[in-house]
Amino acid sequence: MSIDEAIGLTHRPISPRFGSELEDVTLLDLSEQGIEALKQLGAERGVLVVRDQGMTMHQQAEFARRLGDATIYPTKSAGVPPELLVIHADGDSKHVAGQGWHSDISSDRTPPGLSMLRMEVVPESGGDTLFADMHQAFSSLSPEMQQFLLRLTARHDPTGHHLYLSGEKTLKELPSRVHPVIRTHPLTGRNAIYVNSAFTGRINELSRTESRALLDMLYQHVATGVDFQIRVRWEPDTVVFWDNRCVQHHAASDYFPAVRHGYRSTVIGEVPYLAD
């Protein structure tokens, strides 16, 4: 019996090997054992969708702290806890947060682990978020390519960092980091692709031309990998968790000029590593 079944954290798969929708659960009522089961299930399934979760900003911030060390954001909105990042788009927005396939802030020394996005206002249609499973993205490559990638590292640059985008820091103040191209998830022991178009600058062991060609191939592999992708439709009070260590996501911006408004909290992960 798995840990989620043992405590009654029931879920149904969104696709056979990726993503689950939790059923009959109130997140704010979870015990500490339930929190641990949620994190483990998030690692195993990659994405968890939980409907009808009414909570305030402060309740979400408190819940995020129960998940681990929460990222602190530069808040520009009065009353918004520093553990929350406001996700908002409307008819005046020139850009939409989360466009393009990416893993959040992979340029940090300890990049994000589990992210939690709660939407309060959603468009009548559109505004879905797409997710891709980097475990399956890796395992679906040829054995020869897998072995090649296991030997490589990549530099991640802070070009999409929230501190840079908010104007709090300059690129010179935010260092780049080197991580393995393939990383091991600490809770499952599984390997996943860990390069993304938003943050990865180059592969260190290759020439610039070779690096660009390989990265473009991997990005294309992720973007067109419909067999290891899911699409989540938002409803008011929907909460979605995703594990940045093994998942990339892409926010669809097909709802202009409708309003889409919510709050994201993110747990700090560990230094990425590749197990022997």
* CATH label of the domain that carries residue 148: 3.60.130.10
Structural domain span for residue 172: 3-268
pLDDT tens track for 140-174: 999 999 999 999 999 999 886 776 666 677 777 77
Determine the average pLDDT of the residues in 186-213.
97
pLDDT over 70 percentage in the chain: 92
- Residue-by-residue DSSP string for 131-161: EEEHHHHHHTS-HHHHHHHTT-EEEE--TT-
For residue 90, being part of any structural domain is answered with yes
Q: How confident is the model at residue 8 (pLDDT cuts 50, 70, 90)?
A: low
CB atoms within 10 A of CB 242: 27
> Are the beta carbons of 113 and 235 closer than 8 angstroms?
no
pLDDT of residue 217: 98
For residue 273, being part of any structural domain is answered with no
For residue 158, being part of any structural domain is answered with yes
Residues in CB range of 143: below 8 A, 6 or more apart:
none
Task: Please determine, for residue 3, whether its predicted confidence score (pLDDT) is greater than 60.
Answer: no
At residue 148, what are phi and psi to the nearest 5 degrees?
-65, -45
Q: What's the total number of domains in the chain?
A: 1
pLDDT tens track for 237-273: 999 999 999 999 999 989 889 999 999 999 999 999 9
Q: Which two tokens stand for residue 112?
A: 């994000």
Task: Please determine, for residue 7, whether its predicted confidence score (pLDDT) is greater than 60.
Answer: no
- Residue-by-residue DSSP string for 50-64: E------HHHHHHHH
Q: Which two tokens stand for residue 185?
A: 């998830």
Q: How confident is the model at residue 12 (pLDDT cuts 50, 70, 90)?
A: very high
Sign of CA dihedral 120, 121, 123, 124: positive
> Are the beta carbons of 215 and 203 closer than 8 angstroms?
yes
For residue 274, being part of any structural domain is answered with no
Determine the average pLDDT of the residues in 195-209.
97
For residue 216, being part of any structural domain is answered with yes
pLDDT tens track for 68-125: 999 998 767 778 999 999 998 888 776 666 678 999 999 999 999 999 999 999 999 9
pLDDT of residue 94: 64
For residue 86, being part of any structural domain is answered with yes
pLDDT of residue 137: 98
Closest CA to 37 of 208, 226, 187: 187
pLDDT of residue 97: 67
pLDDT of residue 166: 64
For residue 275, being part of any structural domain is answered with no
* Average pLDDT of the chain to the nearest whole number: 92
Which alpha helices (DSSP H) does the chain contain, by range?
3-6, 32-45, 57-67, 134-139, 143-149, 162-165, 208-223
- Residue of higher predicted confidence among 17 and 88: 17
Task: Please determine, for residue 228, whether its predicted confidence score (pLDDT) is greater than 50.
Answer: yes
What is the radius of gyration, based on Cα positions, of the chain?
18
